[in-house]
């Protein structure tokens, strides 16, 4: 079937199970063909093709409300709701979002990009029915990995108490989130999977019962379950539980989703799926390498673009391996991102000195505080966008006690194709106002290493944050990692007499290169320490009486530039020469980093234009 001709889910209404199964094959091939060209979330989408078709077959979207946790597994949903024709623009600038987007379709009920949100959103939408008198069903699709997020359990605890409401939770269990799931919950689900004979016995028992006893099915069900397996965690929280069922068997999916649709109390359908199903490379992936992909060759699985450059995540991971070799009193706490944070080699060499707490950033931060309080050197890497979920723990549990936890803020700044929910634009305003906090952002790997040496040294006595970008740089991992301790002082990279450019990170390298070809005598200063400010350097720059451009790939409100203006005001120094460049008060959509910087007028060309304009005004 040509899936680009699908306009809405009503096409499924008259299709047989065999036709639906054939459609699943066509959609899976379409996804492989397209994602291999555009990049995107691969394994998660291949795993839920049949499940998504069955959901749209049984339920009436958008009258019934389908909520996808995170939304990165919503590609089949997009196809069934008429967007297949736009898949060539997936995650491209001004193109189709890689997540659900309410502005794209009436079928996209709820937007997210972070995990473990769907059940709480479901609770709100479900409870709202009692005010509006609506009769629709509310269905939340959540992965087993997302259940490690505390908010998911908070919502389960809440909704289980409302037996007069009947939302449906689909637990998509593929034994992985991004990488292999960890923790006791994973063991519980594994125990349930291994005792699927319960479900078969329950079915036979109901058939053998006299009709007048079938109304007591739920009690009989609980009795059988208690005898064979004990009640599941979902039963104990007040839900009717069905499963586990085969998430690739269309007939079985439709059967149990139809049962859930008729239920008069909260229901959990436990569905087993295979992440990456249909493509051998992703089916065999146990490390999460096929979770999100760049364009690749569909036949070989090899990436289209190869480069000698290394990601910042891998560079920081390389440092951690070398540091752990010389420092036995060292541990890493990571929230479900061992591969994404460049720590696969560390995990291989030091499996007992890295702790994956699952999708639980709050837990990661507070656990790190306990390690630090006990005298252990600890590194806690978290993507900038996910750090937002643990602000209170950073503030209350770490900084307030002035504990030496070293945070790695990965994907700081514009990240590109993942869009609004993943841009690393808010960590500076969040962290800059936290007492005791040190924030740095290196422009080279060597600078990063010396700053990390400072962070772990006796010279540092409190929380320390090192930001690094989503990008790749030239780096030779065979060279020894420097052991000298870096300075927090700012550095003049290039002297100049007409205008000053003050910033941190990769933009400095780009501007240094471009400055060789322009008719402008620009001073370029590396403000690698965002907090504390280099007060002596600020005084020197102000005394030059030149235009000063303070640039940050971050939101302006409460950011690095704001900090400088606040300091100048407090010390009664002139600020009229200071001009801020940064992200305005808005969310930034998806696209490549160069495209987004150009749109925001934060690219090198815009910097040079502003510098020339300021110089001309001085003349």
Q: Do the domain assignments include residue 52?
A: yes
CB 500 within 8 A of CB 545: no
Residue of 91, 275, 432, 470 marked catalytic: 275
Domain limit, last residue, from 473, 508, 524: 473
The CA-atom distances, in angstroms, between 576 and each of 500, 545, 546, 549, 606 are 14, 10, 10, 11, 21
Residue 523 belongs to what domain range?
Answer: 491-618
Q: Do the domain assignments include residue 418?
A: yes
Query: Is 361 considered catalytic here?
Result: yes
Q: Looking at the structure, do residues 459 and 516 belong to the same domain, yes or no? A: no
Q: Looking at the structure, do residues 318 and 440 belong to the same domain, yes or no? A: yes
Q: How far apart are CA 474 and CA 311, in angstroms?
A: 9
Q: What is the CATH number of the domain that holds 497?
A: 3.40.50.920
Q: Do the domain assignments include residue 289?
A: no
Q: Looking at the structure, do residues 122 and 168 belong to the same domain, yes or no? A: yes
Q: Looking at the structure, do residues 271 and 323 belong to the same domain, yes or no? A: no
pLDDT of residue 214: 43
CB 17 within 8 A of CB 250: yes
> Which residue do the tokens 């560079």 mark?
315
Q: How far apart are CA 356 and CA 531, in angstroms?
A: 29
Stretch 598-613: mean pLDDT, rounded? 96
Q: Do the domain assignments include residue 563?
A: yes
> Which residue do the tokens 């987007």 mark?
101
Stretch 459-479: mean pLDDT, rounded? 95
pLDDT tens, residue by residue, 78-105: 999 999 999 999 999 999 999 999 999 9
Q: Do the domain assignments include residue 302?
A: no
Stretch 114-126: mean pLDDT, rounded? 94
The total number of structural domains that make up the chain:
3
Q: Looking at the structure, do residues 442 and 407 belong to the same domain, yes or no? A: yes
CA angle centred on 332, ends 274 and 175, rounded to 5°:
10
Q: Do the domain assignments include residue 301?
A: no
The pTM assigned to this predicted structure is: 0.88
Q: How far apart are CA 394 and CA 439, in angstroms?
A: 13
Confidence of residue 170 (pLDDT cuts 50, 70, 90): very high
CB 399 within 8 A of CB 433: no
Q: How far apart are CA 361 and CA 367, in angstroms?
A: 10
Q: Looking at the structure, do residues 92 and 159 belong to the same domain, yes or no? A: yes
Q: How far apart are CA 406 and CA 324, in angstroms?
A: 14
Q: What is the CATH number of the domain that holds 342?
A: 3.40.50.970
Q: Looking at the structure, do residues 521 and 423 belong to the same domain, yes or no? A: no
Q: Looking at the structure, do residues 538 and 570 belong to the same domain, yes or no? A: yes
pLDDT of residue 122: 95
Residue of 65, 202, 389, 593 marked catalytic: 389
Side-chain half-sphere exposure of 351, counting CA atoms within 13 A: 1
Query: Is 593 considered catalytic here?
Result: no
pLDDT tens, residue by residue, 255-292: 999 999 999 889 999 999 998 999 999 998 888 888 88
Query: Is 50 considered catalytic here?
Result: no
pLDDT of residue 138: 96
Q: Looking at the structure, do residues 276 and 406 belong to the same domain, yes or no? A: no
Q: Do the domain assignments include residue 410?
A: yes
Q: Do the domain assignments include residue 297?
A: no
Q: How far apart are CA 57 and CA 254, in angstroms?
A: 8
Residue of 361, 469, 552, 553 marked catalytic: 361
pLDDT of residue 472: 93
Q: Looking at the structure, do residues 344 and 269 belong to the same domain, yes or no? A: no
pLDDT tens, residue by residue, 206-249: 444 445 444 444 444 443 343 344 578 888 888 999 989 999 99
Q: Looking at the structure, do residues 249 and 335 belong to the same domain, yes or no? A: no
CB 152 within 8 A of CB 146: yes
Q: Looking at the structure, do residues 364 and 405 belong to the same domain, yes or no? A: yes
């Amino acid at each position: 079937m040509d899936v680009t001709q699908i306009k809405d889910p009503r096409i499924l209404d008259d299709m047989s199970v065999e036709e639906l199964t054939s459609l699943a094959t066509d959609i899976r091939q379409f996804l492989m063909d397209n994602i291999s060209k555009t990049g995107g979330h691969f394994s998660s989408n291949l795993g839920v093709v049949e499940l998504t078709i069955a959901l749209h077959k049984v339920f009436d979207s958008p009258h019934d409300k389908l909520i996808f946790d995170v939304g990165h597994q919503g590609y089949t949903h997009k196809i069934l709701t008429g967007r297949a024709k736009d898949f060539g623009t997936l995650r491209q600038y001004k193109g189709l979002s890689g997540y659900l987007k309410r502005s794209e379709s009436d079928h996209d009920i709820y937007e997210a990009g972070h995990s473990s949100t769907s059940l709480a959103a479901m609770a709100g939408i479900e409870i709202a029915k009692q005010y509006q008198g609506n009769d629709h069903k509310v269905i939340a699709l959540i992965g087993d990995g997302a259940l490690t997020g505390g908010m998911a359990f908070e919502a389960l605890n809440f909704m289980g108490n409302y037996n007069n409401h009947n939302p449906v939770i689909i637990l998509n269990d593929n034994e992985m989130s991004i990488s292999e799931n960890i923790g006791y919950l994973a063991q519980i689900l594994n125990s349930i999977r291994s005792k699927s004979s319960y479900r078969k016995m329950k079915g036979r028992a109901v058939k053998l019962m006299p009709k007048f006893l079938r109304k007591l099915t739920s009690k009989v069900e609980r009795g059988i379950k208690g005898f064979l397996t004990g009640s599941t965690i979902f039963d104990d929280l007040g839900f009717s539980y069905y499963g586990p069922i085969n998430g690739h068997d269309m007939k079985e999916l439709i059967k149990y989703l139809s049962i859930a649709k008729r239920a008069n109390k909260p229901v959990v359908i436990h569905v087993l799926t295979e992440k990456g199903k249909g493509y051998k490379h992703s089916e065999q992936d146990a490390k999460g390498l096929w979770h999100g992909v760049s364009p690749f060759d569909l036949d070989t699985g090899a990436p289209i673009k190869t480069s000698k450059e290394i990601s910042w995540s891998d560079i920081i991971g390389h440092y951690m391996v070398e540091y752990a070799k010389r420092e036995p009193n060292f541990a890493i706490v990571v929230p479900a991102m061992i591969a994404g944070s460049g720590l696969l080699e560390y995990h291989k060499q030091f499996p007992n000195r890295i702790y994956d707490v699952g999708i639980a950033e709050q837990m990661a931060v507070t656990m790190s505080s306990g390690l630090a309080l006990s005298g252990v050197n600890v590194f806690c890497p978290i993507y900038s966008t996910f750090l937002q979920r643990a602000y209170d723990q950073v503030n209350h549990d770490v900084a307030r006690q002035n504990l030496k936890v070293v945070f790695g803020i990965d994907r700081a700044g514009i990240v590109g194709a993942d869009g609004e929910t993943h841009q690393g634009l808010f960590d500076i305003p969040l962290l800059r106002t936290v007492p005791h906090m040190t924030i740095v952002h290196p422009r080279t790997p060597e600078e990063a290493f010396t700053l990390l040496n400072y962070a772990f040294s006796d010279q540092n006595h409190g929380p320390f944050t090192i930001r690094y970008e989503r990008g790749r740089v030239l780096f030779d991992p065979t060279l020894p990692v420097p052991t000298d301790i870096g300075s927090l002082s700012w550095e003049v990279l290039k002297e100049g007499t007409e205008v000053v450019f003050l910033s941190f990170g990769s933009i400095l390298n780009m501007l240094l290169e471009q400055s060789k070809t322009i008719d402008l005598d620009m001073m370029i200063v590396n403000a690698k320490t965002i907090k504390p400010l280099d007060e002596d350097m600020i005084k020197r720059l102000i005394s030059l009486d030149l235009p000063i451009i303070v640039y940050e790939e971050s939101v302006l409100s409460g950011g690095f530039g704001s900090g400088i203006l606040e300091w100048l005001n407090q010390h009664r120094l002139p600020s009229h020469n200071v001009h801020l460049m940064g992200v305005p008060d808005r969310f930034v959509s998806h696209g490549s980093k160069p495209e987004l910087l150009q749109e925001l007028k934060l690219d090198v060309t815009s910097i040079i234009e502003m510098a020339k304009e300021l110089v001309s005004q001085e003349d």
